[in-house]
Amino acid sequence: MSQKRRLLYKDIDALRFFAMLPVFLFSGLYLLNNGENAFIADAVAGLSYLKQNSLDFFFFLSSFLLTSHALREFKYDKGFSLKNFYVRRVIRIAPVFAMALIFAFVVYPWIINTLKLTSIETHVSIKNFLLLPNSSGTLTPEQYIYLAVIWTIYMFIIFYLIWGLILKFFMQQIRYIGIVLIGIGLIARIYHILINNVYEFNLLCYGIPIGIGALVANEIRSNDRLVENIKHSPKANHLIIYLIGVVTLLAGYLFLGKTYAAAIIPLITCTFFGYFIIEQTFGKNSFFKLRKNKFIGRMGKISYGFIVYHTIILVVGLISIESLEINITSIGSQIIYLIMGFLLSWLIADLSYNWYERPIIAFKKEFKRS
């Protein structure tokens, strides 16, 4: 019997950290944007594009990891348990997601009513739960940032439901499915660009990162030559690819976001994510290894909780400031607001991970094949 071999992608947590930063900065500046400060308005516009890279990355990463684990399960256990897959997903998502729902639909309305603050009608309907948010223009900035996180998690839930079935019944065709998904994602994004409509909450548009994530996972397991080539690739090659990848991440959506060329940006960035994972995991000539930075790795590990809790912290903080009639229009006060928001989000997410999420996550071990 062959010995089981688990591939440890130790640098993924670091990537999560870099992906969550634009999300936090966008949320904070979006709340501070009153239309009077041109710098904040421009920063919000720029960060909205960087945030799109983050969403692409998280879908890529989920597809990559889930497909990798499923391939390993098929190889060593000769099967795939759909029930266990779904239970593990619920155990990981539900604890923090429950906190987001409680805040959005219980705590926030209570705060508004208690403080007698002016609120704009949310227009939450069944369409919100089907990932078709309507009347989003009627939302306050506070409502938008936490509902956007909730809608995004809904998209992941639907993705998990569908992906589990694909992994169970169509694993042998995963390469072709990945290619088809990339095509669907391209068509969906081009369509949204054609009708001049945002695609942030359309799951079909994430077919590109999902498809590439599945393809990368399959290639790592089946294409030893590819892995060996990247493993022994010289630093000069790494430098060129890193430059292309980073420049595309920072400037791709920013300059091409409203053009048809924007549809191909995730093809480049997600391929770069895959290259980065392979190079950092197996590379012998790396310029650096992100796994050596314990702080970044730790922050990436709690990124899910951080992304959910930071919206709650920022919203409650802003409401508190407004209720106390504190002036937050100066640059200094806004910087303090962002720093305090980051630190408190970090603290809450860390405490949640250690004392709330981790004990529940431990039950996932009960739903793994022996």
Question: Where do runs of H (alpha helix) occur along the chain?
Answer: 12-32, 38-77, 82-102, 108-115, 126-129, 141-169, 174-194, 207-222, 224-231, 235-256, 265-282, 294-301, 303-323, 331-352, 358-361
Residue 224 domain flag: yes
Residue 5 domain flag: no
Residue 2 domain flag: no
Q: Which of 62, 119, 60, 108 is nearest to 85 (CA)?
A: 62
At 182 the pLDDT is 98
For residue range 309-328, list pLDDT tens digits in order. 999 999 999 998 888 888 88
Residue 359 domain flag: yes
**Can you give the three-state secondary structure of 23-85, one letter per residue?**
HHHHHHHHHHCCCCCHHHHHHHHHHHHHHHHHHHHHHHHHHHHHHHHHHHHHHHHCCCCHHHH
DSSP state at residue 3: P
Query: In the chain, what is the straight-line distance between the N-terminal and C-terminal CA atoms, in Å?
Result: 14
Instruction: Count CB neighbours of 215 within 10 A.
Output: 23
The number of residues in the chain equals: 370
- What are the b/e assignments for 178-206, b being 16+ CB within 10 Å? beebbebbbebbeebbeeeeebbbbbbbb
- Would you call 308 exposed, middle or buried from its count of C-beta atoms within 10 A (0-12, 13-18, 19+)? buried
Residue 4 domain flag: no
Residue 296 domain flag: yes
Residue 272 domain flag: yes
pTM for the predicted model, two decimal places: 0.92
At 300 the pLDDT is 92
Query: Cα separation of 175 and 350, whole Å?
Result: 37
Residue 74 domain flag: yes
Give the torsion through C-alpha atoms of 206, 153, 67, 283, to 10 deg: 80
95 token code pair: 């604890």
Q: Which domain holds residue 172?
A: 12-367
Query: Cα separation of 83 and 341, whole Å?
Result: 38
CB 367 within 8 A of CB 73: no
Distances (CA, A) of 107 to 29, 102, 200, 347: 23, 6, 26, 20
At 271 the pLDDT is 97
Query: Cα separation of 14 and 41, whole Å?
Result: 29
Greatest CA span in the chain, whole angstroms? 70
Which stretches in the chain have pLDDT values below 70?
1-10, 116-138, 364-370
Domain count, the chain: 1
- Would you call 343 exposed, middle or buried from its count of C-beta atoms within 10 A (0-12, 13-18, 19+)? exposed
- Would you call 249 exposed, middle or buried from its count of C-beta atoms within 10 A (0-12, 13-18, 19+)? buried
